Amino acid sequence: MLKVKLIEHTPNPEKIIAAAAKLCYSQVGVDEILEDMNEQKTQKLLDMLMTYGHHSPIEHVSFTFAIEGISRSLTHQLVRHRVASYSQQSQRYVKLKQFEYIIPPNIEKDEEAKIIFIESMKRIQEEYNQLVEILCRNELANLLKKYLKNEKLINTEEIEKKQYTILKGKAEKKAIEDARYVFPNACETKMIVTMNARELIHFFNQRCCTRAQWEIRQMAKTMLMQARIVAPVLFKYAGPSCVSGPCPEGGMSCGKMLEIRKEYEVK
């Protein structure tokens, strides 16, 4: 299940952006600008800034989201947004004893398709476990052989229990590194994502659009709704590109521009 949480952001993001924008055209210093920047002036300047398309000051603030319950299929799309920082749960270092997975809605609503899908996930988990066991056994044997040779020991009984545990841990780590290749795009993952506001708005333009894949669109809209709580003026016109201008999709447009605008308008 999708879980999105805005865990951190630049303090007073709208005030910071407004001050940065005003500095470009002001003779006074930052301290004086900030002292004079009340809430009303901040909102007025920021609203004008967003309308004019003067977007470089927006890059001074950033937003960090913790995201869970998403598929590897989604994250392959997400990391294409390069002006961002990502930290993702590793399948190389984390052994998935029972991996979670995302079921697409069209599969979820069809009982026959859902049964096939779930059985496939169960089979993959079993095959992953088998691969880990086989690869771990092989790698442990290699490590033990090297250790016995280097330490000039005769057999495994001479190896201390602590050292054996260390070698087994190394073997398992090596095993899951290769066994993970059987996992599907549906495999659930977790991420922490940080974007500056300008990139975040661009991300919303692209991924809130009805032509975006359903899962990343759902996530993008959830992120936007949370960002609006802390910076309502900044993200007032955020959403699909058609919210603040013409649809850029041409002949591939969904034709629902008025509905989309209503969906994303600030209440």
Q: Kindly report the number of other CB atoms within 10 A of residue 175's CB atom.
A: 21
Residue positions annotated with a catalytic role: 207
Q: Are 175 and 131 in contact (CB under 8 A)?
A: yes
Dump strand ranges (E) for the chain: 3-9, 62-71, 84-88, 188-196
Bridge partners (DSSP) listed for residue 100: none
CA 112 to chain centre: 31
The 3-state DSSP class for residue 5 equals: strand
Calpha distance 265→238 (Å, rounded): 9
Residue type for 211, please? R
Which among 64, 13, 67 has a CA at the least distance from the CA of 194?
A: 64
Q: How many residues does the chain have?
A: 267
Question: What is the distance between the alpha carbons of residues 218 and 210, in angstroms, rounded to a whole number?
Answer: 10
Contact call for residues 17 and 61 (beta carbons, < 8 A):
yes
* Tokens 């070698």, located at residue: 167
Burial-class residue 201 by CB neighbours within 10 Å (0-12, 13-18, 19+): buried
